[in-house]
Amino acid sequence: MKQPLKIAFFGSSLVSAYWNGAATYYRGIIKELHKLGHDITFFEPDAYERQQHRDLPDVDWATSVVYDATTEALEAVLTRTPEFDILIKTSGIGVFDEYLEERIPQLAGEDQLIIFWDVDAPATLDRMQSDPNDAFREHVKKYDLVLTYGGGDPVVEAYTDMGAKACIPVYNALDPETHHPVEKDQAFDCHLAFLGNRLPDREQRVEEFFIKAAASLPQKNFMLGGNGWHDKPMPSNIKYLGHVYTKDHNALNCTAMAVLNISRDSMAKYGFSPATRVFEAAGARACIITDHWKGIEMFFEPDQEILIAETGAEVAQIMATLSPERAAQIGKAAYERVLRDHTYAQRAQLAEALFMKNLKTNRKEVLS
């Protein structure tokens, strides 16, 4: 029997989804890696009030280590790196990103596998491409492997051009144990719902695909969830929910007649980047409407498992004619597709295969 890998993640947060869109992704991948027999520790800073808005208790499938958001506390945590077979620096921690991008390769022993796991590759690549002096342009070459949760060939090629030794997408997926059909909740009763934090490279698309569509359909009810929208002007038929905790996502997805996905600018530009919430919604049998991005067909069949809109006017047109029966039919088809092709169990098996393939020879002999 193979020996378990000891894996360290340095990331934003495993225990809180507050201002942390990658939480579902981390949880799905890590839980399934644990089921495959591996031992995972997730190091996260106490930052952005994430610990005050925890939505996940301590779990038996990973160890969460929360450290103060100071350099001294981080360095104390980094003394533990020799314990692990694999060191993973994820993107988007929000504090100490550049520091860790440099330190992880410096600390790695010659038998340790070091990975940069990019949960927002378009943003990272845009940053590097726009700034010739970006320090990560040099550091990326020192990592044994770059994994991304989206991006397809455009991201792989861009990372390769930047000097990455290897870049492989490990896409978002569904955890059917956490995201699944539940009873409807009248608190989320609406025709169309959208969940997403207010971010600079998403706001204009939200105005186009959601707010403009709502304004043209005053007889329909819309719901907006996510942080930061409280002072955004919007039509009276949009109800603003504020932050929607993960525990309520299933009820929202099951209750709204349709759920809207709106990509951030950079995700839409690179394509092949389905948001985590697309799979969450499909797991709840939601009828998903998405803005168009290249590569959708890799994940869902348009018009059968997902509906696609090029503009806000097209969102409004879809909603004007969409019946509850048609919405239920599309949601059922999406649900069957994700269970067949897009689960975190499948993604974890891919990640494990990549780990074993890229482990240093000496370490591979010990663990096999």
Give the tens place of pLDDT for each residue, 160-195: 999 999 999 999 999 999 999 999 999 999 999 999
pLDDT at 54 over 90: yes
Bridge partners for 347 per DSSP: none
For residue 150, is pLDDT > 90? Answer: no
Which whole number is the average pLDDT over 142-156? Answer: 94
Alpha carbon of residue 94 to chain centroid? 15
Query: Among 220, 259, 257, which Cα is nearest to 238's?
Result: 220
The stretch 234-254 carries a mean pLDDT of 96
Q: Residue 119 to residues 314, 333, 340, 360: CA-CA distances in angstroms?
A: 29, 27, 23, 25
Region 107-111 average pLDDT: 94
In this structure, what token pair is assigned to residue 313? Answer: 């006017």
- What pTM, to 2 d.p., does this model score? 0.90
How far apart, in whole angstroms, are the C-alpha atoms of residue 304 and residue 331? Answer: 9
pLDDT over threshold 60, residue 365: no
Q: How far apart are CA 122 and CA 177, in angstroms?
A: 29
Mean pLDDT rounded to a whole number for the chain: 94
H or E, element range at 355: helix 344-358
Mean pLDDT of 241-251: 94
Instruction: Calculate mean pLDDT across residues 47-72.
Output: 96
Between CA 260 and CA 279 the distance in angstroms is 12
Tell me what pLDDT residue 316 has.
98
Amino acid 340: pLDDT? 98
Residue that has been written with the tokens 């409407």 in this structure: 289
Both tokens of residue 119?
A: 């949960």
Q: What percent of the chain has pLDDT over 90?
A: 88
Instruction: Provide the pLDDT confidence category of residue 1 given band limits of 50, 70 and 90.
Output: very low
Kindly report, residue by residue over 15-50, the tens digit of the pLDDT.
Answer: 999 999 899 999 999 999 999 999 999 999 999 999
